Amino acid sequence: MSRFDGKVAWVSGASSGIGRGAAERLAAEGATVVLLGRDEDRLAEVAASCGDAAVTAAFDVAVETEVDAHVPGLLEQHGAPDIVVHAAGITVVGALDALTPQEWHRQMDVNLTSLFLLNRHLWPAMVPRGGSIVTLGSTASFAGFPQDAAYVASKGAILAMTKAMALDGGPHGIRVNSVCPGFILTPNLQGYFDAQDDPAGAAAGAGAAAPLGRMGTPADIAGAIAYLASDDASFVTGTSILVDGGLLAKVPTA
């Protein structure tokens, strides 16, 4: 018997990167996965890799009207989640003074407000049964990066919100934790590299920065997500797991 047989897992940002990796891992261990994302074609591709136990819903989880239009029906069709993975995320590059209000709000809407919008529907459905919620923080939840102010702010907020949600969820058996990746080779990270003056140099530097000497993969993060979602973590809530190859354990020497 697999760890997630009979479980329903909702994954936002499921069309690529960490969200896709999480969905594929949970499905491989028996979960029925509800895949949320904006790109219908890419979601269909992920669903195919997840096998028969996958359904897709293409809408923008950062837009209130779209969330409100889609999520109640999905809950009615597929049932309350046992597992929720909030993996939707983007990176808006720029120092704080260089960002437009539109860029700031888009960064916060996707990375942070989407959790609030989905939670308004998913949390009440989980209260009678408990479950596990996994948010996606970052090494940027603990340390700043230059030219990345809005992203850093959003990831710091996610970590604080995770702790508050865990306190509210405890009496209902809802565990809430965060996985905080380091440099993980995803389309989102590649976009960050491409925005630098020397994209190849930025990528090489990221790969060399961690003591393990490489960038991570979505599969590396999926393992941590699966652990937090499982009964193996039944007494784990309100905390975060760094999956960064040792990046933040290192004091720079040069």
**Domain CATH number, residue 38:** 3.40.50.720
The total of structural domains in the chain comes to 1
The answer as to whether 254 is a domain residue is no
Q: Using one digit for the tens of pLDDT, what is the confidence trace for 154-183?
A: 999 999 999 999 999 999 999 999 999 999
Q: Is 192 a catalytic residue?
A: no
Indicate the average pLDDT of the chain.
94
The answer as to whether 3 is a domain residue is no
**pLDDT for residue 199:** 82
**pLDDT for residue 186:** 81
Considering only CA atoms, which of 71, 89, 88 is closest in space to residue 80? 71
Q: What percent of the chain has pLDDT over 90?
A: 83
The string of DSSP letters for 86-110 reads: E-------B-GGG--HHHHHHHHII
**pLDDT for residue 202:** 79
Residue 170: domain span: 8-243
The answer as to whether 249 is a domain residue is no
- Between 206 and 109, residue with greater pLDDT: 109
The answer as to whether 191 is a domain residue is yes
The answer as to whether 1 is a domain residue is no
| Active-site pick, 4, 10, 151, 193 | 151
Q: Does the predicted TM-score (pTM) go above 0.85?
A: yes
Q: Give the Cα-Cα-Cα angle 17, 18, 21 (nearest 5 degrees).
A: 90
The answer as to whether 251 is a domain residue is no
Q: Using one digit for the tens of pLDDT, what is the confidence trace for 216-254?
A: 999 999 999 999 999 999 999 999 999 999 999 987 766
Judged by DSSP in three states, 52 sits in coil
Average pLDDT on 58-75 reads 98
The answer as to whether 253 is a domain residue is no
The answer as to whether 252 is a domain residue is no
Residue given tokens 């948010």 in the structure block: 135
Q: What are phi and psi of 128, to 5 degrees?
A: -70, -15
